[in-house]
Amino acid sequence: MRLKFIEPLMPTLVEQPPEGDAWSHEVKFDGYRSQMIIDEDGTRIYTRRGLDWTTKYRDIMAASAELGAESAIIDGEIVVLNEAGLSDFAALRKAITRRQHDLYFVAFDLLHLNGHDLRDMALEERREILASMIPPDIRIQFSQPLPGDPKAIFHLIDEAGLEGMVSKRRDSKYRSGRSTAWLKIKSYMVEEYDLLGVEREPGKPAFALMADRKTGQYVGSAFINSSRPIRERLWKRAQEHAGPAPKGMKRPATQWVKPGLIGRVKHLRGEEDLRHASLQDFREE
């Protein structure tokens, strides 16, 4: 029987990891969420949105034969590990087109096995079966649970420069779509960006519009929650450095600025564009 893609369960973003023994915790990998389907037609690998990307992952497909499953649906993440052993999103994009042998599939859930739908089983039982299927030293790896106190785990993850962690209810069933049975807690980092302009509308929060310092590409906006003196100094500098709008950008409430103002922005780690970002300070080049 040809198995169909199942819409993935999506974790809910929270600020703090949940406490208590009802939860297990894993590293949040910085890669492409993917679903591996094994059936009589061979192995297929789909993106989070159900696009068939099998041809991009030939080495991982070959490794799937070592799982010994007649049929299976496995939820996981395609990653590339850097020299420090951390998942590296920038390297992942290059590897997909040029270096397939650097790709790994990190498996963290099992939805179907040999004709049986496992989604109504408890997460912990599904993961026990999954762990037992994966032999050592292949391109498919099991996402190991992290032992210890959740806050201590998150502190170590943050210190190591990882994207964050995912906490999952041990007894939870697998249900497609957004769920509070899985919670993701993400680390923050601070980086410098070019300031393109300041968006201010009466009665609304002010935002700094930021661009990547290497490419000049717009990457998103950062909430200006800095101290009042920084806000006032920023607005003064923005007016003094007033410039034209970048090509293709239309935002009527924005004071655009000439190049030369650099913002320090705190934002979620492991995102392509700025998310949950705030401007901490700025300087002139």
Residues serving a catalytic function are 28
Instruction: For residue 188, give the H/E element and its range.
Output: strand 188-199
Q: What one-character-per-residue DSSP string does 202-253 give? A: TTS--EEEEE-TTT--EEEEEE--S-HHHHHHHHHHHHHTB-PPPTT---TT
Mapped onto helix, strand or coil, the DSSP state of residue 43 is strand
Q: In what order do the strands lie in the sheet with 177-186?
A: 9-14, 177-186, 164-169, 23-28
Q: Provide the total of helices (H) and of strands (E) in the chain, helices listed first.
A: 5, 16
Cα separations in angstroms, 96 against 29, 89, 108? 16, 11, 21
- How does DSSP classify residue 87? B
Half-sphere exposure for 3 (CA within 13 Å, toward CB):
26
Closest CA to 3 of 134, 123, 114: 114
Where do the H-state alpha helices sit in 34-75? 58-63
